[in-house]
Amino acid sequence: MFSLGKWITRKFIAWLTYEPERPVNFTSLTNYDRLCDELKPGDIILVEGCSRVSNIIKLITQSPWTHSMLYLGNYHQLNSAGIAPTSLSQYAITPHTHLIIEAVLGQGTIVMPLQKYKDDHLRICRPRSLTLQDRNAVIQHTLNKLGYQYHTRQLFDLARFLLPYNLIPRRWRSSLFRYHAGDSTKTICSSMLAEAFVSVNYPVLPVIEHTEQGLRFYRRNTKLYIPRDFDYSPYFDIIKYPFIGLDEVAAYRNLPWDEEGFICNAQGDCAIPLANTGDDTNKDEQVIRQGA
């Protein structure tokens, strides 16, 4: 049966998620191939989006990072760890495809090839010292969310929460701590990932207090997390792969190497190998240089 409300919602979501075509001469800030070589399962990947909703998120959060997702690895790695759901069996044909899990407006929680974001500005946030067992538990936790709907209400609640509280009318104030029927099957990208790490007691941005007994860590409401929190967290290492990296200059090529062909056993014990001269008349000269 046709529902006008659902039709309007779909149209509005399509308008929000529309991404303009990139210019023909567009160049990403990220070297995608090098980033893929660096990635490890359990890494958080931040994305700077260019859709209308991405621009809204940038304005609200005052950060360029508009989306976060978890790198799963490839199907072969998931299958070896015993956590590959049957719904991903399609990737068994291409077992080394880089896979990510994300919560997307209008689509819910899905698994996609990382290739989807190859032209975007990306950043790796790697949880420091996360054990293999906990890494697999984090991945499994997110895979259990497959099919969950995107929590649009939470997105608007979060927007209100980030505004000065005394400027918000009472009826608009955040309802993040209230229970809503059906919310247990809805999520947003950063909340889902924060919840996965909290499930293994890994800190992202915990609330920390000094008590008489020492430091006390408190779990922060996972619904308050936004993509930039993984960048800001002191427990995640930040790994960047610019399209043209300064390290690609290869400074070792400019070292002052000898160009005459000397080979040394130790300092002061050097000679030009006979095979390099092509002339036996230099034997005496080589012996002299070797003994010099």
pLDDT at position 223: 83
Is residue 265's pLDDT more than 60? yes
pLDDT given for residue 93 in this prediction: 93
Looking at residue 118, its pLDDT comes to 92
pLDDT at 144 over 90: yes
- Provide the residue ranges of all domains of the chain, joining segments of one domain with +: 13-249, 256-291
**Is the pLDDT confidence value at 174 over 80?**
no
Confidence tier at 179 by pLDDT (50, 70, 90): very low
**Band of the pLDDT at 183, cuts 50, 70, 90?**
low
**Is the pLDDT reported for residue 190 higher than 80?**
yes
Q: How far is CA 29 from CA 37, 48, 93, in A?
A: 16, 10, 31
Q: Which of 82-91, 104-113, 240-249 has the lowest mean pLDDT?
A: 240-249
pLDDT confidence tier of residue 204, bands split at 50, 70 and 90: very high
Q: What spatial distance separates the first Cα and last Cα of the chain, rounded to whole Å?
A: 96
| Residue 275 confidence class, pLDDT cut points 50, 70, 90 | low
Answer whether residue 150 shows pLDDT above 80: no
Say which CATH topology domain 13-249 has. endopeptidase fold (from Nostoc punctiforme) (3.90.1720)
Query: pLDDT value at position 22?
Result: 77
In this prediction, residue 283 carries a pLDDT of 47
Residue 129 confidence class, pLDDT cut points 50, 70, 90: very high
Looking at residue 177, what is its pLDDT?
43
Residue 94: which pLDDT band, with cuts at 50, 70 and 90? very high
The per-residue pLDDT for range 71-91, each reduced to its tens digit, is: 999 999 999 999 999 999 999
| pLDDT given for residue 224 in this prediction | 84
Phi-psi region of 82 (alpha: psi -120 to 50; beta: other; left: phi over 0): left
